[in-house]
Amino acid sequence: MRETVKLISMEGFEFVIDREAAMVSHTIRSMLTSPGGFSESKDGVVTFPDISTPILEKICQYFYWSLQYSRGKETEFYIEPELTLELMMAANYLHT
């Protein structure tokens, strides 16, 4: 069980984040917790050829913000207006 996972954007940028943070996305979570299936669930590397780097970065930020919020630190999560649409679609895709 690795502590971190690596998320790769369409341009090839690699984001290394905590496993716990990545699991905020149900899609990623079900992938990482599938028993007896994925050869790479041990390595924890996921490529998202459809998600651009700025969006993926924002998503990673969101994961961490979400964890903090659920622990009681109720701050606001700011989303730049120009990212909104893509971000929503990515969130939908990732079931976040």
Partner 1 sequence: MSLNKEKTCFILEGWSYIQKGITKLIKIIEGEPEPPFEVTHYMKLYTTIYSMCIQSTDDDYSQQLYDKFRQVIEDYTIYQVLPSLREKHDEYMLEELVTRWNKHNVFVRWLARFFNYIDRDFVCRRGGAILTLREVGLTCFHDLVYRELHSTAKEAVLTLIHKEREGEDIDRELVKSLVDVYVKNGMGTLETYEEDFEIFLLQDTASYYSSKASKWIEDDFCPDYMLKVEEYLTRERERVTHYLHSTTEPKIVEKVQNELLVVVAKQLLENEHSGCRALLRDYKMDDLSRMYRLYHPIPQGLEPIAYLFKQHIIEEGTSLVKKNRRVNELQDKYMVYVIKCFQNHTLFHKASKEAFETLRREGGIEKLE
Beta-carbon count within 10 A of 43 CB: 11
**Looking at beta carbons only, is 45 or 83 nearer to partner 1?**
45
CB of 46 to partner 1, least distance (A): 6
Are 61 and 24 contacting, i.e. CB atoms less than 8 angstroms apart?
Answer: no
Q: Which residues bind partner 1 (CB under 8 A)?
A: 27, 30-31, 34, 36-41, 45-48, 50, 93, 95
Look up tokens 């998202």; give the residue: 48
Measure the CA–CA gap between 65 and 83, rounded to whole angstroms: 17
Measured from the CB atom, the residue of 39 and 75 that comes closer to partner 1 is 39
We find the least distance from the C-beta atom of residue 74 to partner 1, in angstroms, to be: 27
